[in-house]
Structure 1
Amino acid sequence: MNGKYRSQNWFGKTGKDGFIYRAWMKNQGIPTHEFDGRPVIGICNTWSELTPCNAHFRELAESVKHGVYEAGGFPVEFPVMSLGETLIKPTAMLYRNLASMDVEESIRANPVDGVVLLCGCDKTTPSLVMGACSVNIPTIVVSGGPMLTGKFQGKDIGTSDVWRFNDAVRSGAMDQDQLVMAEASMCRSRGHCAVMGTASTMASMVESLGLSLPHNAAIPAADARRKVLAHLSGIRAVELVRNQVNISDILTKEAFENAIIINAAIGGSTNFIIHLLAIAGRIGVDLSLDDFDRLSRNVPLIANLQPSGKYFMEDLYYAGGIPSVMRELDSFLHKDCITVNGKTIGENFQKEECYNRQVIATVNQPFNELSGVAVIKGNLCENGAVIKPSAASSHLLQHTGKAVVFEDIEDYKARIDDPNLDVDENSILVLKNVGPKGYPGMPEVGNMGIPTKLLAKGVTDMVRISDGRMSGTGFGTVVLHVSPEAALGGNFAVVQNGDLISLDVPGRSITLHVSEEELKERKKRWKPRIKNYDRGYVHLYQTHVEQAHLGADLDFLKGSSGSEVTRDSH
């Protein structure tokens, strides 16, 4: 390597090569002394007007640059693929792995010594972290922050209310004009979802892992302190490079365990599981679905946040944020884990206080005794499935009912509101072929709507099972991520209408009451229903995606390939 830093393999060269690297950069008005061997900090930006959650990131990037310059670094901002959860079809999850490849190759191919990841919307955080893990250079994350709490008809609202509004419209309790008024009242500032949905869960995840500065997760996007955090993160990015602290130094097995414990205590999204497994696979940490249940089982829910509770991310920040939650979990956590600010996680939270016990409860008097995550296994999901007990109905956590089966999403849409659908409140809704391969990308359709005929009777929850995912803003007694998925022809693929299924969340089991002999006969007659794509990224994804219990990453992306460029072209 030429000089102290990686970037000097570009800017530190003499002759033709150095001339080319520096001369073209100088057309942006960069003076010669910027290339004198100072740390080059890449600002990986997922800004896009098609990603509304991240639409303020150009402004946030400027704050990062101020910090980098202040610390004596050289900031360079670059774009990568942005994934807007609300707009992108068929599902942003399909492109998480593609965006991670964009991040990985953009970092590796360019003269950056460290990177600041600007991410906010659901899939932008895991994709950026996954890509950075594969290169393994100094890394710090700056989240975009939650939007301010929505206000509608005298009530606080957030993304979780979308599902309530939808059921209200379907049942006739709300008309279209009211829905449009609510629509204009919910997203009233910059930022991502205001509840503990997947975006907030991911921001909490990176803070729990030690990849961000304290309070990163909860500072509202509209709060000036979000810019301050971005500025300070720019300073720390330079210091991480100077101290040669790579992302692998932060992401130890103990750090992953801390993140799992904290996620259980805050009622984080079930999507947390699939993303953390993928990140672990990239950095080389041995993590399995069983670890999530083992570490979450005795952790109570102490954050009273929607969709499991009442309050919003804005309230969490004013109450003390994730550091205050960590302090309540002192006896559960690995306090010696190092974080990007140079201190241990224990040092970061030791002086924190809680300012609102309605929002952050204590371990001894929790908001809910039930943990935010449970892993269940049985003959219906040989490799496991997940459920969020804290967002479920207590009377359904142990339940037996007859299956009402939808073979795919089109079948579901065609029949769910049919008045002749053979279903009652004790039935169990089963949706197949919405897993990673079956519906490429594994969409958030697992929290199926209640049949209209039951909504009219006042039914608000049912047991629902699928090989797909659920929005982190969703709620209900919903079993997700069934593995192996139906597209692979396992037991889940051959569930039929009328089959008895027993769910026992306390016992961590789910049972399909069909004999092994009958299941074998059904599998002989089974034919796949999925569409196979023969070109482009979707073909690549369908061919190489792993199952949900492994993180749904592409099999050839596992592990880190390092920061060495493929070939020096000059």
Structure 2
Amino acid sequence: MNRPSNKVTKKIVNAPQRSLFKALGLTDEELESPLIGVCNSYSELIPGHQDLDKIAAAVKSGVTRAGGTPLEFGTIGVCDGIAMGHQGMHYSLASRELIADSIESVARAHALDALVLIPNCDKIVPGMMMAALRLNLPAIVVSGGPMMAGRHQGENIDLKTVFEKSAGVSSGQVSKEELAEIEDSACPGCGSCSGMFTANSMNCLSEVLGLALPGNGTIPAVSSARRRLAKRSGSQVVRLLEEDIRPGDIVTEESFANALRVDMALGCSTNTALHLPAIASEAGIKLEIDLINEIKEEVPHLCSLSPGGKYHIQDLDEAGGIPAVIKRLLDNERFNGRMLTVTGQSHGENLAGIQVKNDEVIRELADAYHAKGGLAVLKGNLAPDGSVVKQAAVADEMLVHQGPARIFNSEEAAVEAIRSGKINSGDVVVIRYEGPQGGPGMREMLTPTSSLAGVGLDKEVALITDGRFSGATRGAAIGHVSPEAMEGGPIAALQDGDLIKIDIPGETIEVELSDAELEKRLAQLERPEPKIKSGYLARYARLVGSASNGAIFEL
């Protein structure tokens, strides 16, 4: 087989390279075998990545058993929860591009034959999948798995609980003593945070795209089954290399339609509307966000998972995991089972023997939690290129809302107003200049949305932004407003008191201004100075494109 590693291991002129590999302790026999890169985003900074050293060890065992030579290398990661609410969040989405670029750099520079990609949290998962499609080497994703839910007073809790209860302290609804108890118990151990937040959304969708083995999205981090999955993944990537099955053979336009179908059924994070287009772009596929509205009409919301529901990822795993969700959709002709996966078989073939084990966690289509899927795209004169809402986490009374705009040019200013009692029932909080360019980095807004919930206004106040929301956000939170304020989008022209009309079932978001008035205001706008003028974020702001296209670099 004409493997990439032949360029550094086979010829007489490769003696210097072989010498360097032997400095690593590799034998001639190991250099005869395919070189399998094991990209491990292990970190002592991220709870979801704390045990990835053990996952990598299991992967390498599987690679070796299948006849490959595993070579581990690292990449960065950002914990969105720790980065939330301060300057650190500018770096979260921006880190996705660094991750993809770093993997490309290492894999090409060292002539690796195939890759096992080990992410777990937030932007690391899509960043690794972007690299897999870009490189198009045989590759497989195996994550570290979800965290177990915490327990407090007989109820399951999670990180969302802590954010909301901390806001409740400022309003006097929660005592400091209760908050301390919740803080100590909400995140009981390693793993990606336990609800259907961004990390778990993307890990689940890695299965649907066909880039991970069944179970990758839901097997708990603390389970020995997670390490067995890692061993199988290590062995399977060698087989993918032998059979020359590459990500480009697996991921097609229909794969992304399948991903959106499962997304709708699960009620995934709004961040999937950023990451799926970005991954698709690496495969040369243009994924229009309008497809979300088409698919939400055909696939109802079947799984009521935190933040909008009471169940957690461990419950979904016990109910059969993503294979059971796919089975439910396939049986109702809502999924294309012919698509290839890293098992070497199609989704349909992978489902042999799969059954839904809990009809309350994964409901029948006729008994769905919501008749339409979990996400919606809203358009109108306030968001001509679109905006995104997790409609499955919106209270019924907020699906249609209108109220006066309360304008803030930063997340911090909005949070201060919410927590100090300056926001009134019926208001529409507008946070702008937080988009991909304006942020820069399109910060997540879990702090303001959880603050609204903490002071009891989440069913009375809407929040819109050209930034984005955490997967843990619930309520009438509409993000990704495009074009963003920094690009001179209509959101930049809003003034305090403007009447904003939100109709989620009608898929519209409008400001009650005439076209002439809106054009006049936009013509008078002056582009503000960038918030950050040096370092990576300054370069990022110059390169990044619209959220409506996945916030990818425009080269």
State whether TM-score is above 0.5: yes
> Following TM superposition, by how much is the alpha carbon of 1:377 offset from its aligned partner in structure 2, in angstroms?
0.5
CA deviations on 1:427-469 (whole Å, 9 max, x unpaired) are: 21111111011111101116734878x9767764421111111
- The 1:254/1:373 distance shift into structure 2, 3 A limit, reads same
Matches within 5 A, 1:389-538: 389-419=391-421, 421=422, 423-445=423-445, 448-449=448-449, 460-538=459-537
Q: One-letter code of the match for 1:210?
A: G
Matches within 5 A, 1:532-547: 532-547=531-546
Task: For residue 159 of structure 2, give the secondary structure of its aligned residue in structure 1.
Answer: coil
CA deviations on 1:28-75 (whole Å, 9 max, x unpaired) are: 322211112x22111011011122211111111110011111111111
Matches within 5 A, 1:280-291: 280-291=280-291
Q: One-letter code of the match for 1:260?
A: L
Counterpart residue number, 1:325: 325
CA deviations on 1:406-434 (whole Å, 9 max, x unpaired) are: 12234324433444x3x431121111111
Counterpart residue number, 2:297: 297
Q: One-letter code of the match for 1:42?
A: G
> Following TM superposition, by how much is the alpha carbon of 1:305 offset from its aligned partner in structure 2, in angstroms?
1.1
Counterpart residue number, 1:563: none
Counterpart residue number, 1:5: 3
CA distance in 1: counterparts of 2:443 and 2:129, whole angstroms:
21
8 Å CA contact retained: 1:306, 1:312: yes
Q: One-letter code of the match for 2:16?
A: I
Task: For residue 87 of structure 1, give the secondary structure of its aligned residue in structure 2.
Answer: helix
Matches within 5 A, 1:134-145: 134-145=134-145
Matches within 5 A, 1:73-222: 73-88=68-83, 89-91=88-90, 92-222=92-222
> Following TM superposition, by how much is the alpha carbon of 1:531 offset from its aligned partner in structure 2, in angstroms?
2.3
CA distance in 2: counterparts of 1:379 and 1:463, whole angstroms:
17
What TM-score, normalized by structure 1, do the two folds share? 0.93
What TM-score, normalized by structure 2, do the two folds share? 0.95
Q: One-letter code of the match for 1:308?
A: G
Residue 48 of structure 2 corresponds to residue 48 of structure 1: no
CA distance in 1: counterparts of 2:162 and 2:295, whole angstroms:
31
Task: For residue 81 of structure 2, give the secondary structure of its aligned residue in structure 1.
Answer: coil
> Following TM superposition, by how much is the alpha carbon of 1:210 offset from its aligned partner in structure 2, in angstroms?
0.6
Q: One-letter code of the match for 2:60?
A: K
- The 1:427/1:450 distance shift into structure 2, 3 A limit, reads farther
Identity over aligned pairs, percent: 35
Counterpart residue number, 1:26: 22
CA distance in 1: counterparts of 2:313 and 2:127, whole angstroms:
22
Q: One-letter code of the match for 1:322?
A: I
Q: One-letter code of the match for 1:341?
A: T
- The 1:530/1:472 distance shift into structure 2, 3 A limit, reads farther
CA distance in 2: counterparts of 1:509 and 1:74, whole angstroms:
54
> Following TM superposition, by how much is the alpha carbon of 1:530 offset from its aligned partner in structure 2, in angstroms?
4.6
Counterpart residue number, 1:348: 350
- Structure 1's unaligned 5+ residue stretches are 557-570
> Following TM superposition, by how much is the alpha carbon of 1:218 offset from its aligned partner in structure 2, in angstroms?
0.3
CA distance in 1: counterparts of 2:368 and 2:104, whole angstroms:
41
CA distance in 1: counterparts of 2:458 and 2:431, whole angstroms:
19
8 Å CA contact retained: 2:404, 2:500: yes
Select 2:34's aligned residue among 22, 26, 39. 39
Select 2:59's aligned residue among 45, 56, 64. 64
CA deviations on 1:504-524 (whole Å, 9 max, x unpaired) are: 111111111101111122123
Task: For residue 412 of structure 1, give the secondary structure of its aligned residue in structure 2.
Answer: helix
CA RMSD in angstroms comes to 1.8
Q: One-letter code of the match for 1:27?
A: A
8 Å CA contact retained: 1:446, 1:466: no
8 Å CA contact retained: 1:463, 1:478: yes
8 Å CA contact retained: 1:447, 1:476: no
Residue 378 of structure 2 corresponds to residue 376 of structure 1: yes
Q: One-letter code of the match for 2:474?
A: F
- Structure 2's unaligned 5+ residue stretches are none
CA distance in 2: counterparts of 1:225 and 1:260, whole angstroms:
27
Counterpart residue number, 1:564: none
CA distance in 1: counterparts of 2:100 and 2:518, whole angstroms:
39
CA distance in 2: counterparts of 1:396 and 1:532, whole angstroms:
33
Task: For residue 255 of structure 1, give the secondary structure of its aligned residue in structure 2.
Answer: helix
CA distance in 2: counterparts of 1:494 and 1:110, whole angstroms:
50
8 Å CA contact retained: 1:305, 1:312: yes
Counterpart residue number, 1:560: none
8 Å CA contact retained: 1:393, 1:461: no
- The 1:455/1:234 distance shift into structure 2, 3 A limit, reads closer
Task: For residue 416 of structure 1, give the secondary structure of its aligned residue in structure 2.
Answer: helix
Which is worse superposed, 199-208 or 4-13?
4-13
Q: One-letter code of the match for 1:22?
A: R
Task: For residue 297 of structure 1, give the secondary structure of its aligned residue in structure 2.
Answer: helix
CA deviations on 1:253-297 (whole Å, 9 max, x unpaired) are: 111110000011001000011001111111101211111221222
